[in-house]
Structure 1
Amino acid sequence: MLQDWFADGLARNPDGPALRILGRDWAYTEVDALARAWAAAVAGAGAADTPVAVLASKTPEAYIGLLAALYAGAPAVPLNPENPVARNAAVLRAAGCGAVIAAPDTTGQLARLLESAPVHVVLAPDTDRAALPAKLPSAVGGARVLRADEAAASGAGGGWRPRAGSPDDIAYLLFTSGSTGTPKGVPVSHGNVSAFLAAALPRYDVRPEDRFSQVHETTFDLALCDIFPAWAGGACVCVLSRLQALDPARWVRRYGLTVWHSTPSLARGLQRADRLVPGGLAGLRQSVFAGEPLLLDTARYWQRAAPDGVLDNIYGPTELTIACTAFRWHPDQDLSDPVYGATVPIGAPNDGMAAMLLAPDGSPADRSGELVMTGPQMFRGYLDPAQDTDRFLESGGRRWYRTGDQVRRTVHGYVHLGRKDAQVKVNGYRVEVGEVEAVLRDTAGTDAVAFALDGPGGIRLVAYLLGDAEPDTADLAERLAGRLPPYMLPRHLWWLADAPLNAHGKTDRTRLREDAVHRLGHEGEATP
């Protein structure tokens, strides 16, 4: 079970720091005690055996709440308070959450969130009793409100024991972008995560003295690539804000970071601004990049700043549990052959995982094709079984997941060639452009076309509104912000009365793409 990996770290380093946020440390024993108390409070209030939402962003509740859900024997459902209330409420309903553990800065959102979600228990922030009724009534939308500080002080968690379960039980539920406009719920089992950890831990040789950066939101599964490998080894998870993550040299020194993990976009931005000096990241023994293609020149730039460590490029959709392939990059490797392009390979499958390639007609391919994988890290299927359509295939007596990613097989493992469908990565987040278009059409009441453009500033979403009447784009942008997370909002909205048509009488996306590149004033290529 996933919580057993935390227990391993607790046994290795009980008095050492498990979590650091803004210079404040929480020891393993402290995290364990709080998680037990919160689990006891939630389960004792009638929310046992139902998913537990964790409404928090890089606060103690985000991490201890995740562990508390596991201790309660319930799937954890991370929610980002920066996302629109309507989207978070849709996730609560879809997941069937019976409880919410909330951070102090979310009290303003809770009442609105619970108006449309059938939640029974809220573990409220630690607020003064006099202020609590004004901020959060003792009953909101029919939910019973508990005080997190009172639960911790009651001692009720002292005798609480994490519930026994099966590797097939769901550890957490994440919701990714869906092409129909509805987020896809991805249930990941304890067995799936344990298989990932069993493959990753020997690779990283985690030690109690290690300090892991943590720059991702917990709604992004790459955050778990920091949290549980660190905790399994008795190391410390050091949480960085967005601004702190943009100055890694400072925080590597201040926190004594030894393991860095981020998307390539962050490193690319530092490279463009030339923010890293040679040796500026001395002390890092491991750097890990994931979520999108890592350019070779960015890897070289980072390695010059972190000469004492190794650099890994890992890959994996949420459905294959955090990362299912890995490649260790070395500065002296010869990857200049045109077959590799300008990106670092994603490498070979993790132990226990199997891969094959499919040609466009669905037949097996040898050198390049769609990457299809199976093994213990593969989830069983989406929360909504209807979304399983065309995502799986049966071959050789096994069920395989179709990633939608095009790859080439090389002597260095696989090289990522791009997406097969209309799915893209924006700052490491997976985005279905079709979902953006669907929300645009519904909000604007007119047709819409969206693209992801790859330019000097990185991937950005842009969109055209197609119709007779020019919309109020400022008003539309405000309404879109109420329905889409920040990373899914188009950076530019343009209106066209007459859409260009191709020979088949359909909207000519190629011409619109070329027009978008021209408007932005740079040469770029839209991600398909």
Structure 2
Amino acid sequence: MGHRHRLPAGHAVTGKPLEGWFQDGLALNPHGPALRILDRSWTYTEVDRTARSWAAALSARHGPPRSVAVLAAKTPEAYIGLLAALYAGATAVPLNPENPPARNGAVLRAAGCEAVVADPAGAAGLAEVIAGAAVHSVLAPEELPGALPSLRVTPNDAEAAGFVTPPRAPDDIAYTLFTSGSTGTPKGVPISHANVSSFLRSSLPRYGVRTDDCFSQVHETTFDLALADIFPAWAGGACVCVLSRLQALDPARWVRRYGLTVWHSTPSLARGLQRKRLLAPGSLAGLRQSVFAGEALMTDTARYWQRAAPDGVIDNIYGPTELTIACSAFRFDPAVPDAQYGATVPIGTPNDGMEAILLGADGETTSGLGELCLTGGQMFAGYLDPAQNEGRFLQRAGRRWYRTGDQVRADDAVGFVHLGRGDSQVKINGYRVEVGEVEAALREVSGADAATFAVDAPSGAVLAAYVLCDAEPDLKALVEQMATRLPAYMLPRYVWWRPEAPLNAHGKTDRNRLREEAAREVADRAQF
């Protein structure tokens, strides 16, 4: 089964820039809420006016910047800053102030950011982040520390009134996100305006967005699934309601309090609530749609959530960052017996405008089971560093396909069923992690050989690592050093020392044996 989906005749990919989808919502609902954080709301008109004034300020000194880093986490600066970067005609580059400054700095320099929008937390650590970068403008809500005040720009409503967003081509880059890289260097994934338009044109009919909708916003903007909340909501004139980590762990309370109608999170969050029996039947009444993505959705978790949200539907969406947020979807049907679905909810069929083929172990296309490869309007053109393209693309029938590294089974009734990764890439709490990057960081800080694995635990996949050296190191100090290099979600849950590694018949480290040992150790700890 090829699962080929083509654009209907006469249906051309729009060249609308990403901020144009916000302007659609502005036209539909100018005085309605576009953004809510705690008890503060901003109307579409307020968000539009603020973003334009920020764009004008960022462009005042040296003209429109090429790229704007948005160094903010779930604050007004994170969301209005994203729109301001787009209004400035720039590429938006979201950064999380909670990540190590050295990593944020490496990303900022790799993306060529010339301007920064920072919230208070981002501004506090800005000096280290922009060291050595060609940043000429910083927009922040308070004075900048140290020697940085000369970079601060101030919004001016008069300048904003006459500000015009520079024209862009559909292939120009709307945003660049950085994912985990197997060599220890993050991969920059540039997504064009045309890529995002393809995603939105396919996804919006699934949401059926209304101006009175309220979308949950659980993810950080450095995670592309956040954009699956923000821009579908904004395109339809709905409200994006930002939830803190603690609020996200109590959805029943906040669905009622904020009047949420569309929920989006990773399956891990739902499964955690299921294990603790925190959702009573009907406790999520009012949700008309729930969307899960980022990792496998267990069928029993979908049923548990459906009982809590009986008035709505559940969609399981799938897609790597390189294929623009989500490139396939499946609607869960609670009337279908578990035996038909199996342990996990299928990932369904490709979005309109996307085509899929399966690649067998022999490198030839197959029809039943293999590596999922896709092409179409949502496929990015290639990594920021072209050297990282090697092995990620496939040429077939005169076309270029992206190799996802995911193993799937094709099923005529439900589309594709996800079977797991075919390489060292894993999902930890919904975040995509290259185990090789974590291992490289551990080797660097320890000065010794290391082995890192993703192993199953009751809470989902966790990272476990071994340091392999003669003398026992200070493992706590090693983890603290890793925390200066990697985001929190990439830090191993367990780090153990072994004086020597087991060897296989070829005299190499027996990684299979170490993986099995790690799995047993994690399982034993879970019993206590």
TM-score range, shorter chain: over 0.9
Is this contact kept in 1: 2:123–2:144, CA < 8 A?
A: no
Matched, 1:230 2:233: yes
Matched, 1:424 2:431: no
Distance in structure 1 (CA, Å) of the matches to 2:523 and 2:422: 27
Per the TM alignment, residue 258 of structure 1 is displaced from its structure 2 partner at its CA by: 0.2
Amino acid at match of 2:278: R
Q: Evaluate the alpha carbon distance shift between residue 133 and residue 211 of structure 1 in structure 2; reply closer, same or farther with a 3 A threshold.
A: closer
Aligned counterpart, 1:203 = 206
Aligned counterpart, 1:18 = 34
Distance in structure 1 (CA, Å) of the matches to 2:355 and 2:262: 28
Is this contact kept in 2: 1:348–1:413, CA < 8 A?
A: yes
Aligned counterpart, 2:120 = 104
Distance in structure 1 (CA, Å) of the matches to 2:320 and 2:460: 20
For residues 264-302 of structure 1, what are the alpha-carbon distances to aligned partners after superposition, in whole Å with 9 as ceiling and x for unaligned? 000000000000000000000000000000000000000
Query: Structure 1: which 5+ residue stretches go unaligned?
Result: none
State the TM-score, normalized to the length of structure 2. 0.95
Per the TM alignment, residue 334 of structure 1 is displaced from its structure 2 partner at its CA by: 3.1
Aligned counterpart, 1:9 = 25
Matched, 1:145 2:148: no
Instruction: Give the secondary-structure state (helix, strand or coil) at the position aligned to 1:155.
Output: helix
Aligned counterpart, 1:181 = 184
Aligned counterpart, 2:378 = 377
Q: For 1:126-525, list aligned pairs within 5 A.
A: 127=142, 132=143, 137-139=148-150, 144-147=151-154, 151-152=155-156, 154-337=157-340, 340-410=341-411, 411-522=413-524
Amino acid at match of 1:446: A
Is this contact kept in 2: 1:74–1:171, CA < 8 A?
A: yes
For residues 124-155 of structure 1, what are the alpha-carbon distances to aligned partners after superposition, in whole Å with 9 as ceiling and x for unaligned? 22x3xxxx36577413xxxx2113xxx15x43
Q: Percent identity?
A: 68
For residues 335-381 of structure 1, what are the alpha-carbon distances to aligned partners after superposition, in whole Å with 9 as ceiling and x for unaligned? 414xx530000000000100000001110111010000000000000
Let me know the Cα RMSD of the aligned residues.
Answer: 1.3
Instruction: Give the secondary-structure state (helix, strand or coil) at the position aligned to 2:99.
Output: coil
Distance in structure 2 (CA, Å) of the matches to 1:196 and 1:133: 38
State the TM-score, normalized to the length of structure 1. 0.95
Matched, 1:52 2:97: no
Instruction: Give the secondary-structure state (helix, strand or coil) at the position aligned to 1:227.
Output: helix
Amino acid at match of 2:175: Y
Per the TM alignment, residue 523 of structure 1 is displaced from its structure 2 partner at its CA by: 9.5
Instruction: Give the secondary-structure state (helix, strand or coil) at the position aligned to 1:507.
Output: coil
Distance in structure 2 (CA, Å) of the matches to 1:277 and 1:335: 21
Instruction: Give the secondary-structure state (helix, strand or coil) at the position aligned to 1:249.
Output: helix
Is this contact kept in 2: 1:75–1:171, CA < 8 A?
A: yes
Per the TM alignment, residue 111 of structure 1 is displaced from its structure 2 partner at its CA by: 1.4
Instruction: Give the secondary-structure state (helix, strand or coil) at the position aligned to 1:250.
Output: helix
Is this contact kept in 2: 1:108–1:135, CA < 8 A?
A: no
Distance in structure 2 (CA, Å) of the matches to 1:404 and 1:510: 20
Distance in structure 1 (CA, Å) of the matches to 2:328 and 2:480: 39
Instruction: Give the secondary-structure state (helix, strand or coil) at the position aligned to 2:381.
Output: coil
Is this contact kept in 2: 1:226–1:237, CA < 8 A?
A: yes
Distance in structure 2 (CA, Å) of the matches to 1:441 and 1:19: 43
Aligned counterpart, 1:121 = 137
Matched, 1:62 2:62: no
Aligned counterpart, 1:72 = 88
Aligned length: 509
Amino acid at match of 1:393: L
Distance in structure 2 (CA, Å) of the matches to 1:512 and 1:133: 48
Per the TM alignment, residue 434 of structure 1 is displaced from its structure 2 partner at its CA by: 0.5
Instruction: Give the secondary-structure state (helix, strand or coil) at the position aligned to 1:431.
Output: strand
Distance in structure 2 (CA, Å) of the matches to 1:56 and 1:362: 43
Distance in structure 2 (CA, Å) of the matches to 1:10 and 1:237: 13
Amino acid at match of 2:376: G
Question: Mean Cα displacement is larger for which, 8-17 or 97-106?
Answer: 97-106
Instruction: Give the secondary-structure state (helix, strand or coil) at the position aligned to 2:202.
Output: helix
Distance in structure 2 (CA, Å) of the matches to 1:279 and 1:392: 46
Per the TM alignment, residue 517 of structure 1 is displaced from its structure 2 partner at its CA by: 2.3
Is this contact kept in 2: 1:107–1:136, CA < 8 A?
A: no
Distance in structure 1 (CA, Å) of the matches to 2:379 and 2:331: 23
Distance in structure 2 (CA, Å) of the matches to 1:32 and 1:323: 27
Per the TM alignment, residue 520 of structure 1 is displaced from its structure 2 partner at its CA by: 2.4
Distance in structure 1 (CA, Å) of the matches to 2:249 and 2:352: 34
Question: Mean Cα displacement is larger for which, 419-428 or 389-398?
Answer: 389-398
Distance in structure 2 (CA, Å) of the matches to 1:37 and 1:358: 49
Distance in structure 1 (CA, Å) of the matches to 2:147 and 2:370: 53
Distance in structure 2 (CA, Å) of the matches to 1:291 and 1:113: 28
Q: Evaluate the alpha carbon distance shift between residue 134 and residue 414 of structure 1 in structure 2; reply closer, same or farther with a 3 A threshold.
A: closer
Is this contact kept in 2: 1:356–1:371, CA < 8 A?
A: yes
Query: Structure 2: which 5+ residue stretches go unaligned?
Result: 1-16
For residues 411-443 of structure 1, what are the alpha-carbon distances to aligned partners after superposition, in whole Å with 9 as ceiling and x for unaligned? 200000000101000010000000001111111
Q: Evaluate the alpha carbon distance shift between residue 250 and residue 425 of structure 1 in structure 2; reply closer, same or farther with a 3 A threshold.
A: same
Is this contact kept in 2: 1:210–1:258, CA < 8 A?
A: yes
For residues 449-501 of structure 1, what are the alpha-carbon distances to aligned partners after superposition, in whole Å with 9 as ceiling and x for unaligned? 00111121211111000011211111111111000000000011100001111
Is this contact kept in 2: 1:47–1:98, CA < 8 A?
A: no
Amino acid at match of 2:485: R
Is this contact kept in 2: 1:173–1:185, CA < 8 A?
A: yes
Amino acid at match of 1:35: A
Distance in structure 1 (CA, Å) of the matches to 2:144 and 2:384: 36
Instruction: Give the secondary-structure state (helix, strand or coil) at the position aligned to 1:274.
Output: coil
Matched, 1:43 2:50: no
Per the TM alignment, residue 395 of structure 1 is displaced from its structure 2 partner at its CA by: 1.1
Distance in structure 2 (CA, Å) of the matches to 1:317 and 1:184: 13
Distance in structure 1 (CA, Å) of the matches to 2:134 and 2:508: 43
Is this contact kept in 2: 1:47–1:121, CA < 8 A?
A: no
Is this contact kept in 2: 1:47–1:99, CA < 8 A?
A: no
Distance in structure 2 (CA, Å) of the matches to 1:271 and 1:135: 48
Per the TM alignment, residue 67 of structure 1 is displaced from its structure 2 partner at its CA by: 0.3
